[in-house]
A = this chain, B = another copy of it.
Amino acid sequence: MDKVIRFGVSIEEKLLKEFDCLIKEKNYINRSEAIRDLIREKLVKEEWDSADMEVAGAIIIVYDHHKRELVQNLISIQHDFLKLIIASQHIHFDHNNCMEMIAVRGNIKELKKLESKIKSEKGVKHTVFAKSTLGETI
């Protein structure tokens, strides 16, 4: 297990008061947990800013499964990028619309290529790229 270190932080009283309000509102158990969360968030953001890291996340798409050949095409694309895709889950919204959550990991540039391949398919209504992390360093 990770060794835990303790260090001191200086902060203006007024700013700390505001922070304590936020901590309460956001349900953190204490200041340390809230600060660790801010730090991790920043570090993951930095990971994604440096073009050549290995990262992880999910590509979320909403599409109309009635569009001709779309389902077939989405499967083909996913197989072309097999190395980047861990798993995917399909959710039915209504008679026409479904959502697919595709868990991905790999090089940022390649992941963006995969995203734009999927996004440009006719019938794909919306795409979001949820940028997360493999969690190894944080």
Contacts and interface: CB of A to CB of B under 8 A. Distances in A.
A136 B38 contact: no
A43 B31 contact: no
Contacts of A117: 27
B128 A130 contact: yes
A37 B130 contact: no
A62 interface: yes
Contacts of A32: 8-11
A28 B120 CA distance: 5
B130 A135 contact: no
A129 to B, nearest CB: 8
Query: Which of A37, A41, A99 is most buried by chain B, counting CB atoms within 10 A of its CB?
Result: A99
Nearest to A12: B2
Contacts of A11: 4-7, 32, 35-36, 39
11 contacts: A5-B11, A10-B32, A15-B36, A18-B39, A35-B39, A61-B132, A89-B101, A97-B136, A99-B103, A101-B101, A125-B138
